[in-house]
Amino acid sequence: MPNYMVESWFAVFAPSGTPQDVVEKLTAAVARIVDSDAYRKKIEEQGAFAIYMNPQALDKFVAKELAEWRQVIQDNGIKAE
């Protein structure tokens, strides 16, 4: 499809209702990993890049992605087979 730029991304999610202290520990661990030189080096060797997002930023990013792709699907009459 012309005029579309698609990037792969991945994130760490926890189930709804996960205790806040657990979310904070996971968030801190992910931030340390993404900010580490070893991780950055490995990810760059693969031609990728990493951006840390806190839970609030990730929530906004996912909502934006869902809305954009929902619109692409609707505009192009894409149906599951």
Distance of alpha carbon 29 from alpha carbon 27, whole angstroms: 5
Q: What is the mean pLDDT of residues 57-75?
A: 94
Q: By C-alpha distance, which of 11, 3, 17, 19 is closest to 55? A: 11
For the chain, give every domain's residue range: 17-50, 51-81
Contact 57, 6 (CB under 8 A): no
Q: What is the mean pLDDT of residues 6-17?
A: 92
pTM, two decimal places: 0.80
| Confidence tier at 22 by pLDDT (50, 70, 90) | very high
Q: Which of 44, 59, 47, 45 is nearest to 12 (CA)?
A: 59
Quick check: 43 and 50 in contact, CB under 8 A? yes
| pLDDT more than 90, % of the chain | 85
Mean pLDDT on 3-24:
91
Question: What percentage of the chain has pLDDT greater than the value 70?
Answer: 99
Is the pLDDT at 1 greater than 70? The verdict is no
SS3 76: coil
